[in-house]
Amino acid sequence: MDIDAESCYRALAARDSRFDGLFFVGVTTTRIYCRPVCTARTPRRDRCRFFPSAAAAENGGFRPCLRCRPELSPGNAPVDASGRTARIVAARIEAGALDDEGTLERLAGEMGLGTRQVRRIVRRELGVSPVELAQTHRLLLAKQLLTESRLPIVEIAYASGFGSVRRFNALFRSHYQLAPSRLRRSTTPSAGEASVSLSLAYRPPFEWRAMLRFLSARATAGTEYVTDQTYARTVAVGEYRGWFRVGSAKGKAVLAVEISTSLVPVLGVVLSAIKEMLDLGARPDVIESHLAGDGQIAAAVRRWPGLRVPGAFSGFELALRAVLGQQVSVRAATTLAGRIAAMFGAPIETPIAGLSRLSPSPNRIADASESEITRLGVTIQRTRCLRTLARAVADGKLRLEPAAAPEAAIAALLAVPGIGEWTAQYIAMRGLRWPDAFPHGDLGLRKALGVTSARHVLDASEAWRPWRAYAAMHLWNSLNHVPTETSSDD
C-alpha cells in the first residue's frame, strides 16, 4: 500500500485490524516498531514513522515490539502484478530460498525474471533489498521460536536459516539490543519433545469451518486427516519427514500450528507452505468489498465472510488430484487418491491416528508402470497423463508453485496431454495461488449461477476480476455448503 502518514496514523489510533500487516509504525523515542493493532499507548503523531514492511522498519534502525510481535502480522495480499511478484519473492525468501546454497540469481531465474528486476520490485513494494528481507525473516522466525517454543537456541539458529550460531547471536544483538536467551519464557530447553507449537496470524474474518469442509471432502486417506476443528497431514521436505496439525485459536486472529520436531530443520519451508495452503495472506476486506458489488454472488459473500481459497501443501499432489477428478465426483477422486497414496506413498509413523503415508513423489509416479496405476481404477488416459505430468515435474520442466507469470505456468500445464482448461485453471487456483484463476467449465459453477453453458459462466466472471478464484469458492460453497465441482475436460 502507499504509505500515507496521516491515514496510517488514523488507522493506528483506531487499532484497525484491517491494516494489520499493511504497515508498521516506528516510534522514534523508543526505537521500537509495532503493528497497527498494538495495545500499547498510541504515541504522538510527531514520534511516528511508518513503513511498508517489517524489514523496512528494521532497516530504519527500529527493533520489533515484544508486545504486539510483528512476526505474527499477516502477509501482503496480491493486488497488482508487481505487488504479487513482491509477495511471491517474499514467500520464497521466507521459505529459505536465500538460505544455504540459495542465491538471488537462482530465485529470479525460477520466476522468469532478472535479478535487477527482482531487486527493483522488492525495493519498490517493500522498501528493502531481497537480502535485507531474508535477514529480517530469519530474525523474526528466530524471535517467534524463542518466544513460543522450548527448542535449544542452537536448533533455533539453524531452523531460522542462519549458517552459524555466532552469526545468529551477532545479528540478534545488533538488531534487537538483547541476547536471544532474554526472550525465553522457560530456561529449560526441550529435550525429546515430539512437536513444536507456533501461531500463524491472519486478517479476520476467517471462515475456518468452510475451509475444513472443503479439505475434508478431498482428504487423501493416510496422508491427510480432518476433524471438525483441525487439519493434519504428513510432510516430506527433502530428506526430512514428519507431520503437522493446525486448528483455530478461540478469541484470536491466529491459527495454532503443531509441527513435529523432525521438521525443525526445514521449519521455514513448512510454515511458508502452511500459510499458502490456508490462504493466510488474503485481504478479505478488499476481496469481499469488490465481490459484494455484483448481485449474482453478493448474498453468498455476505453469508460467508472470510471465505478463503484452499491451496495445497504440494503443487504436484494437487495436480495429481485434479487429474483424478476429471469428469468424476469429488468422492470418487478422493477414493482414487487414497489408493494411489497407499500404493506409492512411503510409510511413516505419526502420533495422529489415520496418518500413515507420505504423498507419492513425482519420481515414484513417473516410474510406475501403466498397469500398476490402472489396476487401482484409473483410466488408461488419466494414467498416461499422470505419468507425463509427474515426469515433467520430476525433471524440473514444470514448476507447480506460485509463479510471477501464471499465464506461462497455465500454458505449460495445457501442453501436457490430458490436461484441459478446467484442470489447468483449477491447479492455478489452488496450486499456483493465482487469485484470478477461474475454471469456467465447471458444472458446479453453472448450477450455482443457474446457467447452462460455460460461456455464460465466463461472461459473468468478468465482473469479479481480479478475484475470480474467491468468487468460485463462494459459488461452490452456496451449493448446500458442499463444493461439488466436476470438470468438463476431455
Dihedral sign from CA coordinates of 166, 167, 170, 172: negative
Task: Count Cβ neighbours within 10 Å for each residue of 103-115 and write b for 16 or more, e otherwise.
Answer: ebeebbeebebee
Task: Return the C-alpha cell found at 407.
Answer: 499465464
Q: Between the CA atoms of 181, 186, 189 and 191, what dihedral angle is there, to the nearest 10 degrees?
A: -170
Task: Return the C-alpha cell found at 276.
Answer: 499458502
Q: How far apart are CA 198 and CA 300, in angstroms?
A: 33
The CA angle 255-208-92, to the nearest 5 degrees, is 55
List Cβ neighbours of 109 (8 Å cut-off, separation of 6 or more). Answer: none
Q: Kindly give the residue spans of alpha helices, DSSP state H, lying in 238-328.
A: 267-277, 284-291, 298-303, 315-324
Strand ordering across the sheet containing 230-237: 195-201, 254-260, 240-248, 230-237, 224-226
For the chain, the first-to-last Cα distance in angstroms comes to 43
Residue 285: CB atoms within 10 A of its CB come to 18
Q: How far apart are CA 142 and CA 136, in angstroms?
A: 10
Q: Point out the catalytic residue in the list 34, 38, 65, 68.
A: 34
Q: How far apart are CA 167 and CA 89, in angstroms?
A: 24
Q: Running DSSP on this structure, what letter comes out for residue 488?
A: -
List Cβ neighbours of 424 (8 Å cut-off, separation of 6 or more). Answer: 410, 413, 414
Q: Is 126 helix (H, G, I), strand (E, B) or coil?
A: helix
Q: Kindly give the residue spans of alpha helices, DSSP state H, lying in 239-297.
A: 267-277, 284-291
Is 279 one of the catalytic residues? no
Q: Are 105 and 118 in contact (CB under 8 A)?
A: no
Q: How far apart are CA 370 and CA 84, in angstroms?
A: 39
Strands 230-237 and 48-51: unpaired
Task: Return the C-alpha cell found at 471.
Answer: 468468487
Is 442 one of the catalytic residues? yes
Q: Which backbone phi and psi does 240 adopt, to 5 degrees?
A: -95, 140
Q: Point out the catalytic residue in the list 20, 279, 436, 442.
A: 442
Q: How far apart are CA 60 and CA 41, in angstroms?
A: 22
Task: Return the C-alpha cell found at 408.
Answer: 506461462
Task: Look up cell 513444536; give the residue.
Answer: 196
Please tell me the chain's helix, strand, coil percentages from 3-state DSSP, rounded to the nearest 5: 50, 10, 40
Task: Return the C-alpha cell found at 12.
Answer: 493506528
Could you give the residue numbers annotated as active site?
34, 442
